[in-house]
Amino acid sequence: MSSAAELRFIQLGALSLRLNAIDVDQIISELLTHQQQAPDLMTRARLVLDVSQLGDEPIAETDLQALAAALNEHKLGLVGVVAGGQAAAVASALRLPVLRSVGEIRLAAADARRAQTTNEPAESPAQDDVAAPVETEDADYRPTRFIDRTIRSGQQVYARDADLVVVGSVSPGAEIIADGSIHVYGTLRGRALAGATGDEQARVFCRDFRAELVSVAGHYKVLEALPEGLKGSAVQVWLQDGQLKLDPLD
Amino acid sequence: MAEIIVVTSGKGGVGKTTTSASIAMGLAERGKKVAVVDFDVGLRNLDLIMGCERRVVYDFVNVIQGECTLKQALIKDKRNEKLFVLAASQTRDKDALTPEGVEKVLDELRQDFDFVICDSPAGIERGAHLAMYFADRAVVVVNPEVSSVRDSDRVLGIMASKSRKAERGDGTIKEHLLITRYSPKRVADGDMMSIADIEEILGLPIIGVIPESELVLQSSNAGVPVILDNQAPAGQAYADAVARLLGEDRPMRFTEADKKGLLKRLFGS
């Protein structure tokens, strides 16, 4: 018999906002710059506050309230606080849950497994922790989106939560977007944006590179002139240390 | 049941109406019963190029609004009795075209004709959309220049997603490319996009290449579709395109720059 409800671990498209200082005006102006550079990414963004870099100095509640209000005003909603540092105090001030980052969850899962093998009860997570220890293989699986035709000027294709494979070509002025990676087996003449919700592991692959713009997780490059050595070649685009890399595949 | 062929391009001034007139005439010359419909309401031109502008009594919009019968509005060509023209209205605007009205007229035309040629206005607005919406096939007219190729690409994209066939999931419009105003010499000099360039970007089979010629303008002004000039390269190229539309396999002509001999160079061609 199938169960009425399933508990599954999913990765949500939230961005972590790591604070190095509490300077509301500066934070907002920096975020607006990001928003201009990657409007697709930022307009749908939900932020998780990371205060682990702020040290032990108590954070004034008024500063936190001011920051939350300013973010709200720019339609960047805070949905939680990343565990670490003064997370618990900040979370209770802002009435937000404390969330564990995926890395910690993996550790927790490993602990749980170890605990099971040694027959010791696993330590129960703190009350305000939302994360459940589940292995990543169980994460939601979305099938790759396939497009078998040419994507023409003015058309836009978005593969939500999935990879995108285009067997045809992408015309100049067309735009293909995926939350995962993008593969183009024809000629890529338009724009290709991989990792649209912030997946920095996403890549763009194409067989005949003539793109106008490529982007991974909001890091983009406008190719006003196609670099020699890439034009017409099979090319891979990925992100390394926050830098967008474009290299021929062969 | 007639086949509906839309002649479209996105960009203006590339030769849609000239092409509509010549394809319609060419099909009629080959014994098909053809109606050619001007969708450019407000800027009618087809009747001029067909040479029947002084015989327009009722137009497309009159038929849609029930002010006359389709039979009354169809103008029989004086040169070919199998060819009929349905003119656009000069006095109305494109809002007078309604999807239901266009569908009704095209359905009625389908009963009596072998081919219905829809001469689309430029752009991607209402008139152009309705001209392509009910089509079975499309001839996309493109000039060998980047803006025209880009606009054609856009139109092909709209056709793939917003035609009746696409909306009903009933197959796709069969697409053909027709290159007009092609000058092999300028291509050879590197001033113009080549057939291969265009074909590569648009990824469609080419149904014809019409060479640039002053004769095209002359015959348009005279109200004679250029296909009737069977001496002119442009006329012959249109005849080839019509044959290919009917499924014949013909080699491309007039696509290479001719190497003029000394005498020709001295005395002109």
Mapped to the 3 state alphabet, what secondary structure does B125-180 carry?
CHHHHHHHHCCCEEEEEECCCHHHHHHHHHHHHHHHHHCHHHHHCCCCCEEEEEEE
Tokens of residue A191, six digits = 């724009």
Under 8 Å between Cβ of B151 and A154? no
Q: Same structural domain for residues A181 and A122? A: no
A197 & A104 share domain:
no
Q: Which of B241, B266, B261 is nearest to B251 (CA)?
A: B241
Q: Is residue A139 part of a domain?
A: no
- B30-50 mean pLDDT: 94
pLDDT of residue A229: 85
Is B201 in Cβ contact with A154 (below 8 Å)?
Answer: no
Choice between B211 and A85, residue whose per-residue pLDDT is larger: B211
User: A191 touching B, CB under 8 A?
Assistant: no
A154 CB within 8 Å of a chain B CB: yes
Q: Give the span between the Cα atoms of A107 and A133, in whole angstroms.
A: 9
Among A24-28, B158-162, B194-198, B235-239, which is the least confidently predicted range?
A24-28
Contacts of B151 in chain A (CB under 8 A): 153
Q: List the CATH number of the domain containing A46.
A: 3.30.70.260
A26 and A118, same domain (yes or no): yes
Report which of B253, B251, B232 is spatially closest to residue B18, judged by C-alpha positions: B232
Question: Would you say residue A135 lies in a domain?
Answer: no
Closest CA to B240 of B250, B254, B230, B231: B250
State the DSSP code for A143. Answer: P
Share of chain B above pLDDT 90, in %: 78
On chain A, the residues whose CB falls within 8 A of the CB of B158 are 154
Same structural domain for residues A10 and A48?
Answer: yes
| Alpha-helical runs (H) found in chain A | 24-37, 39-43, 61-73, 87-94, 102-117
As a whole number of angstroms, the distance between CA A90 and CA A76 comes to 18
SS3 A154: coil
Region B18-37 average pLDDT: 97
pLDDT digits (tens, 9 = 90+) for A208-228: 999 999 999 999 999 888 888
Angstrom distance (rounded) from CA B134 to CA B174: 12
Name the domain boundary from A128, A161, A176: A128
Establish if A51 belongs to a structural domain: yes
Tell me: do A56 and A122 sit in the same domain. yes
Closest by alpha carbon to A109, among A89, A138, A76? Answer: A138
- For the cut 70, the answer to whether the pLDDT of residue A119 exceeds it is no
**A151/A102 same-domain check:** no
B41 with B96: CB under 8 angstroms?
Answer: yes
Pick the closest to residue A83 from A61, A108, A58, A65 (CA basis): A108
pTM over 0.90: no
> Does A66 have pLDDT greater than 50?
yes
Copy the structure tokens of residue A12. Answer: 């949500």
A138 in any annotated domain: no
Average pLDDT, chain B: 92
Tell me what pLDDT residue A140 has.
Answer: 64
Q: Where do we find the tokens 């960047």?
A: A76
- From residue B4, how far is each of B103, B137, B208 by CA, in Å? 11, 6, 19
pLDDT at res. A101: 65
Q: How far apart are CA B107 and CA B133, in angstroms?
A: 13
What strands lie across the sheet with A156-159, from one edge to the other? A156-159, A175-178, A191-194, A213-216, A219-222
Pick among B201, B202, B204 to test the A interface (most A CBs inside 10 A): B201
Q: pLDDT of A86-109, one tens digit each?
A: 888 888 888 888 887 654 433 334
Taking CB atoms and an 8 Å cutoff, what residues of chain A touch B145? none
Q: How far is CA A89 from CA A59, A86, A94, A96, in A?
A: 9, 6, 9, 10
Helix (H), strand (E) at residue A187:
strand A182-188
Asked if the Cβ–Cβ distance from B153 to A168 is below 8 Å, we say no
Domain count, chain A: 2
Q: In 3D, which of A217, A184, A191 has the Cα closest to residue A202?
A: A217
Residue B72 clears pLDDT 50, i.e. is over it = yes
Whole-number Å distance between alpha carbons of A215 and A192: 6
Could you tell me the sign of the dihedral formed by the alpha carbons of B104, B106, B111, B112, in that order? positive
Structure tokens at B252: 């491309």
Average pLDDT over residues A241-249: 92
Question: Which one-letter DSSP state was computed for residue B184?
Answer: H
pLDDT of residue A117: 43
Interface of B with A (CB under 8 A): 150-151, 153-154, 156-158, 160-161, 200-201, 203
State the residue range of the domain holding A119. Answer: 5-128
- Answer yes or no: do A163 and A108 share one domain: no
Q: Which residues of B touch A153 (CB under 8 A)?
A: 150-151, 153-154, 157
A174 touches chain B (CB under 8 A): yes
Same domain, A43 and A118: yes
Q: How would residue A24 be classed by pLDDT, with cut points 50, 70 and 90?
A: confident
The β-bridge relationship of strands A77-82 and B206-211 is: unpaired
What is the per-residue DSSP string for B202-263?
H---EEEEEEP-HHHHHHHHHT--GGG-TTSHHHHHHHHHHHHHTT------S-S-----HH
Residue B227, Cβ neighbours under 10 Å: how many? 28
CATH number at residue A233: 2.160.20.70
For residue A118, pLDDT over 50 is answered with no
Find the CB nearest A149 among B150, B158, B160: B160
A83-87, B4-8, B28-32, B178-182, range with the lowest pLDDT: A83-87
Cross-chain residue pair A172–B156, CB shorter than 8 Å: no
Asked if B246 and B216 touch (Cβ cutoff 8 Å), the reply is no
Quick one: tokens of B5? Answer: 């062929």
Residue B83 C-beta-side C-alpha neighbours within 13 Å:
24
| A contacts of B150 (beta carbons < 8 Å) | 153, 172-173
Where a domain ends, among A128, A155, A177?
A: A128
A204 inside domain? yes
- In-domain check, residue A137: no
Residues of A in contact with B174 (CB under 8 A): none
One domain for residues A12 and A122: yes
Are A237 and A216 in contact by the 8 Å Cβ rule? The answer is yes
A171/A174 Cα distance (integer angstroms): 6
Please write the tens of the pLDDT for every residue from B107-148.
999 999 999 999 999 998 899 999 999 999 999 999 999 999
For residue B245, the model assigns a pLDDT of 96
How many angstroms separate the CA atoms of A48 and A84, rounded? 12
Asked if residue A136 belongs to a domain, the reply is no
CB A166 within 8 A of CB A183: yes
Q: What is residue A110's three-state secondary structure?
A: helix
Query: Which is more confident, A40 or B50?
Result: B50
Average pLDDT, chain A: 79
Whether A9 and A119 map to the same domain: the answer is: yes
| A57 and A165 assigned to the same domain | no
Per-residue pLDDT for A56 more than 80? no
Asked which of A83, A102, A128 is the last residue of a domain, the reply is A128
Residue A134, in any domain of the structure: no
Interval A133-187: pLDDT, tens: 444 444 567 899 999 999 999 899 999 999 999 999 999 989 999 999 999 999 9
Does residue A156 share a domain with residue A122? no
Quick: pLDDT tens for B141-160: 999 999 999 999 999 999 99
pLDDT at site A82: 83
Rounded Cα–Cα distance for residues A156 and A163 (Å): 15
Which among A153, A169, A187 has CB closest to B154?
A: A153
